[in-house]
Structure 1
Amino acid sequence: MPFIELEKLEKVFTVRRRAGLLRREKKEVRAVDGISFAVERGQMVGYIGPNGAGKSTTIKMLTGILTPTGGRLRVAGIDPARERTRLAQRIGVVFGQRTTLWWDLPLKDSYRLAHRMYRIPDARYRENLDRCVDLLQLGDLLDVPVRQLSLGQRMRGDIAAALLHDPEVLYLDEPTIGLDVVSKARVRDFLRHLNAERGTTVLLTTHDLTDIEQLCSRVMVIDHGRLMYDGELAGLHAVGESERQLVVDLERELPPITDVPGARFVRSEGPRQWLAFPATASAAPLVSAVAARYPLLDLSVREPDIETVIAKMYGGTRDERRESLM
């Protein structure tokens, strides 16, 4: 059996809105609308979409926080809503916008609480803690109150807390949001190591396509509660005809760069120019061509954002797509 299995899963919220001075009307909002997919044990899957698409609602149903309105859901053969306590021993959850750590206590005290709460055997707890501290570079932070940690430090602390009881599946909801480049790299390296060494199943929601590109072999796109794409990231870029951008900083202001094969001039501001190229293509030939022909100071590659990819896949604006799905 698949480790995670969803069949026509639905979640409908009832929203009350004022419709006059003394009258209110009820409206149903379908946050998740008939989603079906299966995830095998040990897979790392990206679950992406624009804000309000239904990603976090899906994660909350997978953990048992929310009860589905309809459909069927199983994680390791368990119904999360009916057996939430039993399932909690087998899953780990990290919400990027919220922390499970105790705000005024040193980081190590939050880990001790998790030790007791999950009833982790002492030897197993020490082994897992040492491993997480080493790989996530938390050694100097264990005695620091959580409120004094930076966002990147706290996020690494949250990930460690979610893994102390050896969960079989890890749900990550925006784990790199707001992190600097170094912190993102550490989190990605750790997740890659965790999956390779322990075979932990990972379901990752993010707005950063680089997270998906570096970690996941499979990506699912959700928009307005419906599963719009399920496959490889390269296939998503191909279907959406998405583009990356090469941002070029020159020594001085020059005419638009239009003589680099495979690149399209987008715009310029003084000595800075933007070139677009297919997201499925390598940036290396473009970088070499620009460096060989122009006085270059710096350059960077920008990934397409989720909104742009989805808009190109299905056409129209976000509001137009919403109407087409209703």
Structure 2
Amino acid sequence: MIKTEDLRKDFAVRVKSGRFRREKRTVEAVAGVSLNIGAGEMVGYIGPNGAGKSTTLKMLTGVLSPSGGQVEVCGLRPVPQRTKLALRIGVVFGQRSQLWWDLPLGESFALLRHIYRVPAAEHRERLRRCRELLDLDGFMDTPVRQLSLGQRMRGELTAALLHGPRVLFLDEPTIGLDVVSKQAVRSFLAELGGTGDVTLVLTTHDLADIERLCERLVVIDHGRVVHDGTIEALHARYGSRRSLVADLSSPLPEGFELPGATLIGVEADRHRVTFALDGVTAGAAVADLVAAVPIRDLSVVEPDIEDVVARLYVSGAP
């Protein structure tokens, strides 16, 4: 559905050189990105500020022309065939709107039906589904400018899907949303992706979105892909570990060691211990611990993806 090969984008900028002069320099925003994304995949595309995420999305959607390399989306070249491509993709930018600010939300949807020339029956069924899943009925008659940020984002998602796109690009779709609105958007996207009808590419700084929605994670840094695989593979590659946290009925025996785990924390007043699980399953670690000392409560804490990605950026992985 999406294919890029050595995709590049350079920008010419002018920087100060001396007291009254400026010289022209070339900045490499995207430096050879190669991707293959199949139909129905949900892919997280992340990186630090300035890594090239938004620039890549703009080339995939036909907003920017590449400086080099090849790119196809839905079998089309985004810039030369931008009009055809617009009928096959949906785009949501968290800080930009495709709705009409002075029109009620429902009238914006009606206008989009005519712009995309969607048959009335198809439009009605897609809108019905979005109204139900995103709970739009309470503000369909409200002018867009009077909507809260969470309401507007639900409207933006609906607007991007009413023409039945095959690919949906989401750039920071939950930025600035409250907890309830984030949950509504994530639940909707999870259900949408679960159908397999739409290929979803998500860029965000909120890694909870990635963990909830995407099985595949592409990490870009300084314009280059530094990881392309599952979140589990990212954890394995950069040494993140699950933790076993246990509240004990009595202190650990003197010199106690848990095979395949490392003791990383002790709270003596509560008899709480934390082990990093290095080469052992949680079940085996629990069995060994229970055999040594009575346990009141325990939990297995999954590794924090934010810490893993931060280590990846710092490491400057190739």
Helix, strand or coil at the partner of 1:231: strand
SS in 1 for 2:13: strand
Which of these residues, 151, 172, 182, is aligned with residue 180 of structure 2? Answer: 182
- CA distance in 2 between counterparts of 1:310 and 1:215 reads 17
Aligned residue runs from structure 1 range 287-306, under 5 A: 303-305=304-306
Contact 1:241–1:313 (Cα < 8 Å) also in 2: no
Please say if residues 238 and 280 of structure 1, whose CA atoms lie closer than 8 Å, have aligned partners that are also in contact: no
Superposition pairs of residues 31-42 of structure 1, within 5 angstroms: 31-42=29-40
Deviation at 1:133, TM superposition (A): 0.8
SS of 2:27's equivalent? strand
* Paired letter, 2:210: I
Tell me the distance in 2 between the aligned counterparts of 1:60 and 1:263. 47
| Superposed displacement of residue 281, structure 1 | 10
1:99 to 87, 97, 100: 97
Q: Counterpart of 1:222? A: 220
Deviations 1:102-157 (A, max 9, x none): 22221112112211111111111111111111111111111112222222111111
Q: Report the Cα offset of residue 266 of structure 1.
A: 11
Aligned equivalents of 2:175, 2:281: Cα separation in 1: 26
CA RMSD of superposed structures (Å): 3.7
One of 17, 20, 31 as aligned partner of 1:19: 17
Letter in 2 for 1:64: G
Q: Aligned residue for 1:309?
A: 308
Mapping of residues 210-249 of structure 1, within 5 Å: 210-242=208-240
Contact kept? 1:151, 1:178, Cα under 8 Å: yes
* CA distance 1:177–1:283, change in 2 (3 Å): farther
Q: Which residue of 2 aligns with 1:129?
A: 127
Cα distance in structure 2, aligned partners of 1:212 and 1:280? 26
Number of corresponding residues: 299
- For 1:64, the equivalent position in structure 2 comes to 62
Q: Which has the larger radius of gyration?
A: 2
Confirm or deny: 8 A CA contact 2:240 2:303 kept in the other structure: no
Give CA deviations for 1:60-115 in whole Å, capped at 9, x if unaligned: 10000000000000011100011101100000000112121122221112112211
Equivalent runs, 1:188-207 vs 2, <5 Å: 188-197=186-195, 199-207=197-205
Letter in 2 for 1:109: E
Q: Are residues 301 and 195 of structure 1, via their aligned partners in 2, closer, same or farther at CA, if it must alter by over 3 Å?
A: closer
- Higher mean C-alpha displacement, 174-183 vs 49-58: 174-183
Amino acid at match of 1:34: G
2:308 alignment partner AA: V
Query: How much has 1:240 moved relative to structure 2?
Result: 2.0
Amino acid paired to 2:214: C
CA distance in 2, matches of 1:20, 1:227: 36
- Match status 1:173 vs 2:171: yes
Give the 3 Å change call, closer, same or farther, for CA 143–64 of structure 1 in structure 2: same
Q: Quote how far apart the aligned CAs of 1:165 are.
A: 0.1
2:65 is paired with a residue whose SS is coil
1:163 Cα shift?
0.1
Alignment of 1:98-177 (within 5 A): 98-177=96-175
Q: Distance in 2 between matches of 1:302 and 1:143?
A: 44
CA distance in 2, matches of 1:281, 1:199: 39
How far residue 181 of structure 1 moved from its aligned partner, in angstroms, is 2.2
Please give the residue correspondences for 1:48-63 in structure 2 after superposition, counting only pairs within 5 Å: 48-63=46-61
Q: Select 1:28's aligned residue among 26, 30, 45.
A: 26
TM-score, scaled to structure 2? 0.81
Give the C-alpha shift of residue 315 in structure 1: 4.2
Letter in 1 for 2:92: V
In the superposition, relative to structure 1, how do residues 131 and 276 fare at CA in structure 2: closer, same or farther (>3 Å)? Answer: farther
Runs of 4+ in 1 over 6 A off after TM superposition: 243-247, 259-263, 278-286
Describe the SS at the equivalent of 1:113.
Answer: helix
Separation in structure 2 between the aligned mates of residue 104 and residue 8 of structure 1, nearest angstrom? 43
Which of 73, 76, 79 is the matching residue for 2:77? 79
- SS of alignment partner, residue 34 of structure 1: strand
Q: Which range moved further: 201-210 or 132-141? A: 201-210
**Alpha-carbon distance between aligned partners in 2 of 1:205 and 1:282, rounded to the nearest angstrom:** 32
Contact persistence 2:16–2:22 (CA under 8 A): yes
Instruction: Report whether the alignment pairs 1:88 with 2:79.
Output: no
